[in-house]
Amino acid sequence: MRLGMFFREALRSIRANAAISVAATVTALIAVFILGAFIPSFMYVRSAVSAQTSKVDVDVYISDTASVKQVNALRDKIGTLKTDGQVAEFTYVSKDDALRLMRERLRDPSVLDQLPSNPLPAKFNIQPTDPANANAIVAAVKDDAALDPTEGIVYPQTTADRLLTAAKFVQWAGFALIGILLVAAVLLIGNTIRLSIFARRREVEVMRLVGATNWFIRWPFMIEGVICGLVGAVVAVAMLWGIKVGVVDAWASGADTALTKSGSTAGAIAFPLLTVVLVGAGALLGAVGSGITLRRFLRI
Amino acid sequence: MARIDDDIHHADSTQRAFTLVEVRPEPVPADLAVVTPPSSEKRRRGDVFRPGPGPMVQFQGVIKRYDGDVRGLDGVSVSIAAGEFVFLVGQSGSGKSTFIRLCIRELRATSGHVIIGGRDLGELRRSKVPYLRRAIGCVFQDFRLLPDRTASENVAYALQVTGHSRQEVNRRVPEILALVGLDGKGDRLPRELSGGEQQRVSIARALVNQPRLLIADEPTGNLDPDTSQGIMDLLTRINRTGTTVLVATHDRDTVDRMQQRVIALHKGRIVRDAEGGYNEDPGDTGEIA
């Protein structure tokens, strides 16, 4: 009964202050739209970076002259690193395996038939638990007797380092930006609602005069804020949906670029979830914005 | 109850309702409600401000200073008993408004005690102020109606605030509007009503929660003499049901005509407190005029 009355009061005040209500709604729309465009972009970049990062592996090539004993010793060394938790997985790739893989990769495998003998060395392919461990792994095995003197150890050090830096940067910059956006949105909506309350300062005064408690006055304003936030969020989500279907999906299916391949779709946020998050954010923005702003007007 | 029906019955003709005042019907019991008492009120403990026995309004050495050492009230002690009709007179700046705003805790006394219905407002927690205000009806010179609400909705708001059901609101609002002589005008917006009618709406709003104390700050300040007369008659009628009425005004004619208790303020001090007209002895308090 009370909630119904507060709701009717909120609708009345939206109608009575149409211009300000529209302003608040548009503010929410812009805030949610920016947030909604930014969150998937951020998630995409992050998943692209982490997809690249997981590809950083270390190849330890084994000399053709190494004895079985030496190779077993190296295997044990890497096994110890795995027990320590630095290595996630490692596999032995024999000379034959290496040749077979090469054969699969080549468009015309017949060229390999020309070879008098198998020139490819055997290797251990090591996947670090974290790309940051790569250097430690390399340091642990680099002086091993079984190592191939010419090939040695191959791993994309600079790529790994750059990716690590990029991943950290993307993460922190992303969170910072989302935080700033949220604060800005709350301030913007609060400011718009302040206009609305300022326009009705006398009305609030009268309400207090007839003995309305602060919450009795506050509820309709909060509901008003939530309605504006929700409507803004829904429109923003609709616009984002249009952009996703019309632009992003078309681009992703049409172009076969490195970027679309590297960003896993699993890492990107699902649209229904994004919708829920954004609509929730819109409602919260409206409620918090009006709640904070009202406090100033309800003192005595 | 019979008396209530009587009132509503007479109120459909404003003029007849006011003849009641002139013929001075027999006094009604002090606690008789103006309209049907609330039946389905949900009230939490401590939410109700009930005036106790003793004076309705009591000021004990009240001093109110504004910023910059401006004195609103400068040591006022006065007592108003339940059921009295009192005029508070004085020029603008004499402290009338300060007096009234102290009564509804819009202001707090710098020192001294403001006691309403036995409760010292200095000790009233801020969260309890709304409940004090529900126990006091307030009427102002500028009516203070909600501009985008009809007369009925304005009165209804005061009932909604106290948590009345919609049925109760729908029942009591027409009753009270009829009582103040606004039968059939409930659907008008304030701007569609005359000044006198707007003031009647604000009186209806002040009355609808059956306050034991009605405070009016220059209720006739914006009205012509005839309309003022009607408003003052209405206030007299309300007083006759046992409601304490305190009217701040500088309308000499009205005060002279009514011959009630007059508290005269000048520069924040009480200079006269007696029954009679605005200024019975010009030689004594000439500076007030």
Q: Using CA atoms, how far apart are residues B80 and B84, in angstroms rounded to an integer?
A: 7
For range B154-158, the mean pLDDT: 92
Contacts of A208 in chain B (CB under 8 A): 130, 133
The mean pLDDT value for A46-75 works out to 77
**Residue B277 CA: distances (Å) to CA of B88, B236, B256, B264:** 11, 16, 4, 10
Do both A233 and A185 map to the same domain?
yes
Closest to A196 (Cα-Cα) out of A289, A265, A275: A289
Same domain, A189 and A283: yes
Q: Are A27 and A79 in a shared domain?
A: no
Residues 2-21 of A with CB under 8 A from B: 2, 5, 12, 16
Whether A266 and A166 map to the same domain: the answer is: yes
Q: Calculate what percentage of chain B has a pLDDT beyond 70.
A: 80
**Do A207 and B157 count as a contact with CB atoms less than 8 A apart?**
yes
Arithmetic mean of pLDDT, A99-115: 79
Q: Which B positions 209-268 lie with beta carbon below 8 A of chain A?
A: 209
Q: Within this chain, do residues A88 and A23 fall inside the same structural domain, yes or no? A: no
Rounded to 10 degrees, what is the CA torsion of A165, A168, A172, A173? 40
Which of A1, A202, A212 is facing B130, going by the closest CB pair? A212
pLDDT of residue A137: 78
H/E run at residue A296: helix A271-297
Task: Report residue B63: phi and psi, to 5°.
Answer: -120, 130
Q: Does A213 touch chain B (CB under 8 A)?
A: yes
Q: What is the DSSP string of B104-124?
A: TTSS--SEEEEEETTEEGGGS
Domain match, A260 and A137 both = no
Q: Where are the domains of chain B?
A: 2-31+82-103+130-278
Kindly tell me if the per-residue pLDDT of A265 is higher than 80: no
Nearest residue to A126 via CA among A163, A100, A88? A88
Are residue A289 and residue A170 in the same domain, yes or no? yes
The yes-or-no verdict on residue A195 having pLDDT over 90 is: no
Query: Collapsing DSSP states into helix, strand and coil, what is residue A95?
Result: helix
**Digit-coded pLDDT (tens) for B3-30:** 444 444 443 333 333 333 333 333 433 3
Q: What is the pLDDT of residues A147-193, one digit of tens each?
A: 776 667 776 666 667 777 877 887 788 888 888 877 887 787 777 77
Domain B2-31+82-103+130-278 is found in CATH 3.30.450.40 = no
The strands making up B119-120's β-sheet, listed across from edge to edge, are B71-80, B57-65, B111-116, B119-120
Residue A121's SS3 state is coil
- Tally of domains within chain A: 2
- Give yes or no: residues A226 and A116 share one domain: no
Considering only CB atoms, A209 lies closest to which of B144, B148, B162, namely B144
Mean pLDDT, chain B, whole residue set: 80
- pLDDT: which is higher, A184 or B168: B168
CATH of the domain at A98: 3.30.70.3040
For residues A74 and A215, state if they share a domain.
Answer: no
Structural domain containing residue A64? 57-155
Q: Do A208 and B209 touch (CB under 8 A)?
A: no
pLDDT at B176: 92
Is the Cβ pair A216, B129 closer than 8 Å?
no
A1 interface with B at CB cutoff 8 Å = yes
A256, A231: one domain: yes
A215 touches chain B (CB under 8 A): no
Q: What is the pLDDT of residue A268?
A: 52
- ipTM for the complex? 0.73
Give the mean pLDDT of A57-69. 80
Residue type at B192 in one-letter notation = E
* A181 and A100 within one domain: no
Clarify whether residues A212 and A101 are in a common domain: no
Of the candidates B161, B165, B209, the beta carbon closest to that of A216 is on B161
Q: Domain boundary residue among A155, A177, A194?
A: A155
Q: Do B106 and A206 touch (CB under 8 A)?
A: no
For residue B112, name the pLDDT band (cuts at 50, 70, 90): very high
Would an 8 Å CB–CB cutoff place A212 in contact with chain B?
yes
